[in-house]
Structure 1
């Protein structure tokens, strides 16, 4: 089910309000609760989204949230499965369950599935704000070493903690396998053979004639080009593999003119392009 999203304007902070702007999404259908909470989030100067139906984990990743407040009562029979999936897919996201009366067993189950806190309605919005802040602080402390390893190259930032890459606020919407290839290439200062890429990403030896790596690299290049059209990031070394070297278009051509011609090519003329049929077969 797709999420209905209400983007609320962000109000200016008043005296004594927190200056740390967080990104929060609220999944709830209680209009009174949502209005009161939205007013408090505005006062905090936090960016927030009100969703009246559950968003997929992929949509939540694209939002780049710090915290998610969710009333699991609106999810019905799939509530536990959804909570577990979100917590597993976004380990860096602070998840606060805020719902009606529940049993001890339900609260324990929710916390064990990965929720950071469980609050019972009715609750005071100021208390919920404090719980969100505390949960986000804990996640930031835990993830600090990982966040320090965000990789800024060319016009994009590779975020291992989010399993995604961005240009500014815009997500490249990489699949898990595309991200794994991009991250692997970005961590190497040499040409990586196709066989090596396959073994390290897929986890076993590449069969003779398998062109899966070529297919995924081509799709990855297309996504990079969509958000960063002036840059070439992945270069082909014919008969060998791929090299990650972010360069402005024209710079790489200059190097080729000075004697490197034939050693590598960018995606514009990559002869490893595959057929649509093979693309379709490997898309999964």
Structure 2
């Protein structure tokens, strides 16, 4: 299916190459030469995927991703970078990126990752709505995870006495999985399959970083323990707190 893709890449040769490859697959591609231009283009169309180079003059891909995530927690974001250090991937994942490719990369790998992101986004569009995720079908529109109230309609988490914070689509799906399986051990593979899809190309490091971000949004500052327990070598478990007076 044809997709609308926004690319931000300051290297003209790479930018034209990306356009040619993606357009040859039938996608409609809009290209920006820097981050500021990408943010001007983004509101003009409903994009199915955003591809961001990280190191751009003026406004980095990180900055663009942060701005886009503030407007839309669902659109898939793919980072491109000549850097391969782990810290770059961690920062990107914290900002809500869905995948990460290090230059140079092959055309076939690029197309495989793009198609996987588009496929997951299309299959996940319906599951993001309340009641349409099988594992979370019984959850109300607003449910509790740890100390936080999770609003599935607004993509937010709110701790008592604090302003709500935005959840990415992945964070919301993880929250739903944990709330739908209280006390159960959820393996890393099971969570990746449920939230990212069985065709996910990445590693469990992506899952671990997203859960770390989710914990920051659902655990009170200074909490001695998290609502999501790590089971080393296995996965994670959510142990609901007993109701007040229970």
Question: Considering only CA atoms, is the larger Rg found in Structure 1 or Structure 2?
Answer: 1
Give the TM-score band, short-chain normalised: 0.3 to 0.5
TM-score, L = length of structure 2? 0.47
- Structure scoring higher RCO (CA < 8 A, sep ≥ 6) equals 2
TM-score, L = length of structure 1? 0.41
